[in-house]
Amino acid sequence: MLTNVAVIAFDGVAPFELGILCEAFGIDRTDDGVPPIDFAVCAEDDRPLRTSMGFTMQAAHGLDRLAEADLIGIPAIKEVDASDAVLDAIRAAHDRGARLMSVCSGSFVLGQAGLLDGIECTTHWMHTERLQRLFPLAKVIPEVLYVDAGQIVTGAGSAAGLDAALHIWRQEYGAAVANVVARRAVVPPYRDGGQAQYIARAVPDCDADTLRPLLTWILENLGADHSVEALAKRALMSPRTFARRFREETGTTPHHWVTRQRVAAAEELLERTEQPVEWIASEVGFGNAATLRHHFVRVRGVSPQIYRRQFAC
Domains annotated for the chain, with CATH where assigned, are: 4-196 (3.40.50.880), 212-311 (1.10.10.60)
Q: pLDDT tens for residues 152-173?
A: 999 998 889 999 999 999 999 9
Distance CA 44, CA 253 (A): 50
Cβ neighbourhood burial of 236 (10 Å; 0-12, 13-18, 19+): exposed
- pLDDT band with cut points at 50, 70 and 90 for residue 272: confident
Q: Give the E-state strand segments of the chain in sequence order.
A: 4-8, 38-43, 49-50, 56-57, 61-62, 71-74, 99-102, 120-121, 139-140, 146-148, 152-155
> Does position 197 have pLDDT exceeding 80, yes or no?
no
Q: pLDDT tens for residues 67-102?
A: 999 999 999 987 767 899 999 999 999 999 999 999
Mean pLDDT of the residues in the chain: 90
Give the sign of the dihedral formed by CA 140, CA 157, CA 108, CA 166: negative
- pLDDT band with cut points at 50, 70 and 90 for residue 208: low
Instruction: Name the pTM for this structure.
Output: 0.71
| % of the chain with per-residue pLDDT over 70 | 94
Q: pLDDT tens for residues 221-267?
A: 998 989 999 999 999 999 999 999 998 888 889 999 999 889 988 98
- pLDDT band with cut points at 50, 70 and 90 for residue 27: very high
- pLDDT band with cut points at 50, 70 and 90 for residue 203: very low
Q: In degrees rounded to 5, what are phi and psi of residue 6?
A: -125, 140
